[in-house]
Amino acid sequence: MLTVKGTEFYEDGHPFFYLADTCWSAFTNITLDEWNYYLDYRASQGFNTVQINMLSQWDASESDLNIWPFPRQQDGVHYTYDFSQLNEAYFDRAEKMIAMVRDHHMTPALVLLWSNFVPGTWAAKMAFNNQMPFDEIEPYVAYVTKRYQQYQPLYFVSGDTDFPTEETVRYYAQALKVAKENDPSALYSFHIKGRLAELPEDFYQQADFFSYQSGHNLAGQNTAYLIPSQLRAQGYTKPIINAEPCYEQISYSRNLYGRYSARDVRQAAWNSVLSGANAGITYGAHGIWSWHRQGKKFGIVEGEGFDAPFDWRDALHFGGADDMALMKQLIESRFSTGLYPVDQNIKNEPSIRVAATANKENFVLYVPTNTTLPVQSLGINADEWTAQSFDLNKKMLSNAPFKTRQEIGMSRAEADSIVMISRK
């Protein structure tokens, strides 16, 4: 079972670096054989969490399974759920899949109410489905949290949401209340809209950890480090997670041409973790989150305006997932006592992020483009400290010699790198 201690997660008393893969559309799109193969592969890479939408994902790729959480009537592109009737077959199948997550020694992270099911949200304004009546929240949430409590999930009460109206807040307040009544031992947070940094005050206080998404907007990639660093500066002391950095090979949103590479994902991830979102990171592959099959339709593109996904069989093997697993290995092996952001601007470049262990005996810097590193402001010099550089592209570790007494010279990295500095 996951618990919170300070800014970290713990599992059975041991530090737990949350490394999640994003598979929002699992329960509607994935066969059980595919699910087992997927879990085998991600578990072998070192992932320990899977993020899943409990209900049907509104922008999932087309599926032939035709299984929905509630009876559904289709009228052209629009569809209507009868939220008063739970489809037991859907939730039976979901339970098998959640049990399989646990069988692979992974934690299910379940979203209770994605934004398209709740009135007033940005997604509700363009969704093709009807929203859930307020009176149906309690029976649905109680059913889910009671039924799956034995699998020790953590919960995102909301999915990709903003909180623009009192009605929206009332919906999520009810969902949180009912969930905590029925599974008080679980951890709860809110998956919020991209680049959003605020929660209603009650949610901010009640959430066990803060999750945000730097998301897929090209102009908003700096929120990977801005949001957690601002939260820490304001005194937030619970865990923080970037629950949706840019997905690998997803296109820039708003119909801009271009796709995010593994290097872009690395930068968003390291910028997050070294800036205060140090409890873990989430990865997403464009083709896995929507579970896309070649030749099938892809979701609702009118919203964020994404280009087509890759087939899931290709997306599963994108290299960025191994990069995230490597991050987990480095942090667990070298910084298991935690990393804390250091407010220093190296070379006036905010994307060079700096963090340290609590005793300031070890520092780590993310360097997106190779350069010399003046470290005088960190109190570091060649007499008392040693440095190593890890080339994140070639996966190579090398010594990083000091160019001068208080400046680390360039490494041989041709892309981005991690520089680790330790007191002699």
pLDDT-derived band at 300, boundaries 50, 70, 90: low
**Is residue 3 over pLDDT 60?**
yes
pTM summary value: 0.97
pLDDT at 301 over 80: no
Output the six-digit token pair for 332. Answer: 């667990």
**pLDDT, tens digit (0-9, with 9 covering 90-100), for 92-149:** 999 999 999 999 999 999 999 999 999 999 999 999 999 999 999 999 999 999 999 9
Asked whether the predicted pLDDT for residue 302 surpasses 70, the reply is no
pLDDT (0 to 100) of residue 47: 98
- Structure confidence by residue, pLDDT tens digits, 360-386: 999 999 999 999 999 999 999 999 999
Mean of the per-residue pLDDT values of the chain: 96
In the prediction, which pLDDT does 64 show? 94
User: Per-domain residue ranges for the chain?
Assistant: 2-334, 342-423
CA separation for the pair 259, 391 (Å, rounded): 23
How much of the chain, in percent, has pLDDT values that exceed 90? 96
Predicted confidence (pLDDT) at residue 303 exceeds the cutoff of 80 = no
Strand partners, 362: 422
Backbone dihedral angles phi then psi of residue 11, each to the nearest 5 degrees: -130, 120
Any alpha helices (H) in 69-111, and if so which ranges? 88-103
The more confident residue out of 336 and 129 is 129
Residue range 338-344: average pLDDT?
94
* Angle made by CA atoms 353, 335, 420, in degrees to the nearest 5: 50
pLDDT the model gives residue 255: 82
Residues 6+ apart with CB under 8 A from 342: 354, 355, 356, 363, 378
Torsion of CA 349, 422, 278, 98, to 10 degrees: 130
| Contacts with 340 (C-beta within 8 Å, 6 or more apart), sequence order | 7, 276, 278, 355, 356, 357, 358
Model confidence over 157-185: pLDDT tens digits? 999 999 999 999 999 999 999 999 999 99
State the Cα–Cα distance between residues 191 and 115, nearest whole angstrom.
Answer: 10
Q: Top-level CATH class of 2-334? A: alpha beta
- List CB contacts of 234: < 8 A, sequence separation 6 or more: none
State yes or no: pLDDT of 350 exceeds 60: yes
Report the alpha-carbon distance of residue 336 to residue 201 in Å, rounded.
32
Which has the closest alpha carbon to 227: 195, 192, 194? 195
What confidence tens digit (pLDDT) does each residue in 212-260 have? 999 999 999 999 999 999 999 999 999 999 999 999 999 998 888 999 9
Q: Per CATH, which fold does 342-423 belong to? A: Immunoglobulin-like (2.60.40)
Question: Considering only CA atoms, which of 257, 256, 265, 305 is closest in space to residue 285?
Answer: 265
Q: Which two tokens stand for residue 350?
A: 């905010």
pLDDT digits (tens, 9 = 90+) for 313-323: 999 999 999 99
Q: Report pLDDT digits (tens) over 54-68.
A: 999 999 999 999 999
Work out the average pLDDT over 80-100: 98
pLDDT value at 347 more than 70: yes
DSSP per residue over 136-161, as a string? GHHHHHHHHHHHHGGG--EEEEEESB
H/E segment holding residue 226: helix 223-233
